[in-house]
Amino acid sequence: MREEERLLARRRLDKELRFYRRAGKEKNPALELLRTVRQVLGVPVSEVARKAGVNRSVVFRHEESEARMTISLRAMNRIANAMDCKVVYAVIPRDGGTLEEMAERRKWEKVLGVRGQGVLRAGAEEMCPGCGAGMGGDDSQVSKTRPGGTHSWR
DSSP secondary structure, 19-81, as one string: HHHHHHTSSSTTTTHHHHHHHHHT--HHHHHHHHTS-HHHHHHHHHHHHTT---HHHHHHHHH
Q: Is residue 104 located within the same domain as residue 143?
A: yes
Q: Is residue 60 located within the same domain as residue 107?
A: no
Indicate whether 139 pLDDT > 70.
no
Whether 42 maps to a domain, the answer reads: yes
Lowest mean pLDDT among 50-54, 66-70, 126-130, 141-145: 141-145
Q: Is residue 99 located within the same domain as residue 141?
A: yes
Domains in the chain, number: 2
Whether 87 maps to a domain, the answer reads: no
Cα Rg of the chain (Å, integer): 22
Q: Is residue 63 located within the same domain as residue 97?
A: no
Q: Is residue 38 located within the same domain as residue 78?
A: yes
Whether 58 maps to a domain, the answer reads: yes
Q: Is residue 104 located within the same domain as residue 139?
A: yes
Whether 122 maps to a domain, the answer reads: yes
Q: Is residue 21 located within the same domain as residue 37?
A: no
Yes or no: say if 96 and 24 are a contact pair by the CB < 8 Å rule.
yes
Q: What is the pTM of this model?
A: 0.61
Q: Is residue 45 located within the same domain as residue 14?
A: no
The helix/strand/coil state of 99 is helix
Q: Is residue 133 located within the same domain as residue 102?
A: yes
Q: Is residue 69 located within the same domain as residue 113?
A: no
* pLDDT, tens only, 73-86: 999 999 999 999 99
pLDDT of amino acid 26: 75
Yes or no: say if 130 and 108 are a contact pair by the CB < 8 Å rule.
yes
Q: Is residue 58 located within the same domain as residue 103?
A: no
Domain that holds residue 20: 3-25+93-152
Whether 20 maps to a domain, the answer reads: yes
d(CA 1, CA 9): 10
* pLDDT, tens only, 25-66: 777 666 788 999 999 999 999 999 999 999 999 999 999 999
Whether 76 maps to a domain, the answer reads: yes
Longest dimension (CA), the chain: 70
Whether 88 maps to a domain, the answer reads: no
